Structures are given as C-alpha cells and as structure tokens.
Chain A
Amino acid sequence: GNSVTQMEGPVTLSEEAFLTINCTYTATGYPSLFWYVQYPGEGLQLLLKATKADDKGSNKGFEATYRKETTSFHLEKGSVQVSDSAVYFCALSVTNYGQNFVFGPGTRLSVLP
C-alpha cells in the first residue's frame, strides 16, 4: 500500500537555524508529493508540491526535491523564523487528480527567538 514516513519531532530550533524535516514514501504507481503546514488552531494549508521526479517545490523560503531513487521529499529552509512554528505534514497522492491523499504523522516545529 501507500504510506508516508516522516520524523515526528518535536523539532526545536533557534531563529535563523537551518531546518530539515525528512520524509520518505512508499507508493504503487507514480505519486505526486506535497508538504502541508498547520498553524495553531487552523486547518492545513498547502506549502509546496512536486509532481514528477527531480521537480523542486518551493514557497516562503521552504524547498523540497522529489527524489525517486531514494523515495524521499525532504523539506528544507535555510533560516527559520519564529513565525514558522507549526506542524508540517508530508503527503502523497497516486491518482490523476490528487484525490485520496495519504498523510504522514506530522512534525511539530518550534522556533525560539
């Protein structure tokens, strides 16, 4: 079946530190990959996506590259801010229209000033 594994955290960093959140996946077929972010008390928001191998998704200083050979989609940011404190979810979809997402367990990030 399809599954997503990611480091559960919590991850605590100081402001301006480098962030990596690891995500690996197992999928039948050729998935699209996503990172969603959930700020306290809110629903999930799409942060970035990649739909084919070697694609790099980027948004708000965050980046992730679709690595088919290692089945990975690690999230990185060069310099985190306090406002980046949130829960980050890696997800995949193998259907043509992005239906039936499979989410990872989420990684809680806390950034200290």
Chain B
Amino acid sequence: NAGVTQTPKFQVLKTGQSMTLQCAQDMNHEYMSWYRQDPGMGLRLIHYSVGAGITDQGEVPNGYNVSRSTTEDFPLRLLSAAPSQTSVYFCASNPLASYEQYFGPGTRLTVT
C-alpha cells in the first residue's frame, strides 16, 4: 500500500512557467485536497474534490487549477508561476465518512 504519493519532490520554476504537481492515492478515498504550507501560516486549502468529476475551491485557489478524472489522481496545475507560489505543497486524501486525512510527503516548489 503506497498511500498518498506526490511527484516531484523538488521543483524550481522561472516566473511565467507552467507545471503540474502530481498526486495519487491507492486507498480508494473519495475526498482529496491540496494544501500549501508557508512559514507561520500553517496549511491553507487550495482546492478539494469529493469524488471523480467534482472539484471546488478552497481558501487560496487563485493561480491554480485542478481536475479529478479518476478516484486515484488529483493533479494540481500552476498556469503561470509567480514567486508568491514558492511554498511546500501537500496532497491529502480521506474517505468521506472519516476525519483522518492521509498526507503525501510534499513537493517543495521554488519560483524565481
């Protein structure tokens, strides 16, 4: 059981570039979410999904897109990277009827 996996682990982008952060889970969880972690601010919710084909915005969605074509995968797209998007990004999943979120190991993104 791999749990929640994220790729890449580290990424450096130039301002204006685009990229996709990958997230996959093998636990058949309905709910998946993306957070960003910044110093002194805890985790902030970017986007979430309650099932395939259903996504919604969280607290800080601007500059990010998501899609959920399968239960397993929930990629996060940065359309035009900005230095303000320098952060550590975490993907998480949980069954809809459970409080326990399972987190991936994170992606450290630097935008120069």
Binding site for A on B (CB under 8 A): 4, 31, 33, 35, 40-45, 48, 50, 58, 90, 92, 94, 96-101, 103-106
> Which B residues are in CB contact (< 8 Å) with A106?
42
Binding site for B on A (CB under 8 A): 4, 8, 32, 34, 41-46, 49, 51, 89, 93, 97-101, 103-106
Selected from B42, B94, B99, the residue in CB contact (under 8 A) with A89 is B42
Q: A43-B103, A97-B96, A97-B98 are in contact. List 18 more A-B contacts (CB 8 A).
A: A8-B40, A34-B99, A42-B106, A43-B4, A43-B104, A46-B100, A89-B43, A93-B99, A98-B98, A98-B99, A99-B33, A99-B48, A99-B96, A100-B48, A101-B101, A103-B35, A104-B42, A106-B42
Q: How many contacting A-B pairs (Cβ < 8 A)?
A: 58
